[in-house]
Amino acid sequence: MFWFLGEFNVSKITSIDASARAKAGKGAARATRRAGLVPAVIYGGKKEPTLIALDPRIVIKGIQASGWRSRVYEIKVEGGVTERA
């Protein structure tokens, strides 16, 4: 099933705030976890991967909500970049 992001109702888009990470790799991810954040990568759409760090409370709250796998997430990264995933 294919979804065109332009056709979504605004109420079906979940917004998440994230901070950018500078480095990739196991050591950088471990350092992010030690800082109390969840490391993540946004990729696809023929764009360069974006390294981000998320607040674990937001991640847990999102996973516990029903239908989290079928939602479109708008991720606002510090620095003004907004990605849809």
Q: Is the pLDDT of residue 5 over 90?
A: no
Q: Is the pLDDT of residue 10 over 70?
A: no
pLDDT tens readout for residues 33-51:
999 999 999 888 888 888 9
DSSP-assigned letters across all residues of the chain: ----GGG--GGGEEEEEEEE-S--SHHHHHHHHHTT-EEEEEEETTEEEEEEEE-HHHHHHHHHSTTGGG-EEEEEETTTEEEE-
> Looking at the domain covering 21-84, what would its CATH class be?
mainly beta
**Which sequence spans correspond to the domains of the chain?**
21-84
